[in-house]
Amino acid sequence: MTKNYIVKELINKMKERIPQGQNLANYLTDTLYMGKEAVYRRLRGEVAFTFDEIAVISHNLGISIDQIIGNHLTNRVTFDVNLLHSPNLFESYYEIIERYLRIFGFLKPDGNTEVYSATNTIPFTLYSSYEYLSKFRLCRWIYQHGKVKTPNSLSEMNVPEKIVASHKKLCEGLRKSEKTYFIWDSNVFLSFVKEIKYFAGLNLISTSDVMYLKNELQQLLIELEQLSVKGEFSEGHELYIYLSNIDFEATYTYVADKDFQISLFRVYSISSMDSQSPQICQIQKNWIQSLRRHSTLISGSGEAQRIEFIEKQKNIIDML
């Protein structure tokens, strides 16, 4: 493995990731705040990219430098555990959401974007625009860090506006994929309802909070029923919802377009570790597709199973 080969692969990755219609030299000139000739010397290999320059490029374009190096090492696969840097919990949470937004931002609207997700709880990307449901998710995460005191109320919880805006963008980002595949447990609402009841019992959310949450869960279920009947988020953006007949241990996600792919594994409640390794991404995609074979499609078809599923979730929500 030569230094020049690594630089060539880095340049190829940059060409794949820059916004459509942009010239790489112009992009690097603006991103690295340097002159055109300095950029061209780096692209020709006459001058090496500095560590700081590579760090900026990696962050802005989502290029895994470990991955580029690891591709050429036998039996070596790299994962990013996305360590948080801010001591402030709201800022740390914002880092996590922004990471997910950058992933969706790397997808190009070229007709080849795909999102696969197998989960036994409601995907946050589907309810991130709901005020109380997203507040409850944030509250749970803060509680796990020991920072929520009783009694507590979601209605009094002041969420920074930039987090609210990011929640809405996350919901919109999912709907831009040409094809989205969800595989769910048939009791996908149950864990959410159980957590609401648990937090209410600890006075970490108020009685009125529970009613707001119940109302939003009912709205979400109506929205999901409408989406599953249509089998699409909007014209040209297909949605496939499957109900799994077997259990799976974790949340698996695979996101890809023609030039980019990434596999994510949910850890520590709302964070994830991920890999852009072609080997891991293929394994992840194959695994989720294997779960589809043990599942029933309820979007766009499977009317009887869909009606049964919706009714079951209504009864679960009514437990609140």
The domain ranges of the chain are 3-70, 89-317
Cis peptide before 278 (omega within 30 of 0): no
pLDDT at 233 over 70: yes
Taking residues 255-269, report their average pLDDT.
84
pLDDT category at 98 given cuts 50, 70, 90 is confident
Are the beta carbons of 133 and 217 closer than 8 angstroms?
Answer: yes
Determine the pLDDT at residue 12: 77
Instruction: Give pTM, 2 decimals.
Output: 0.76
pLDDT at 282 over 80: yes
Share of the chain above pLDDT 90, in %: 35
Instruction: Tally DSSP H helices, then E strands, for the chain.
Output: 13, 8
At 224 the pLDDT is 94
Q: How many CA atoms lie within 13 A of 146 on its CB side?
A: 0
- Strands (E) in 50-200, as ranges, are 114-119, 179-184
Range with lowest mean pLDDT among 118-122, 155-159, 273-277: 273-277
Q: Read off the tokens for 21.
A: 């219609």
Domain 3-70 CATH assignment equals 1.10.260: yes
Mean pLDDT for the stretch of residues 141-165 = 85
Between CA 132 and CA 134 the distance in angstroms is: 5
What angle (nearest 5°) sits at the alpha carbon of residue 199, between those of residues 319 and 132? 80
- Cβ(162)–Cβ(94) under 8 Å? yes
pLDDT on residue 180: 93
Band of pLDDT at residue 75, cut at 50, 70 and 90: low
The region of weakest confidence among 4-13, 23-32, 134-143, 295-304 is 4-13
Contact 155, 213 (CB under 8 A): no
89-317: CATH topology: Endonuclease; Chain A (3.30.870)
Q: What is the pLDDT of residue 1?
A: 45
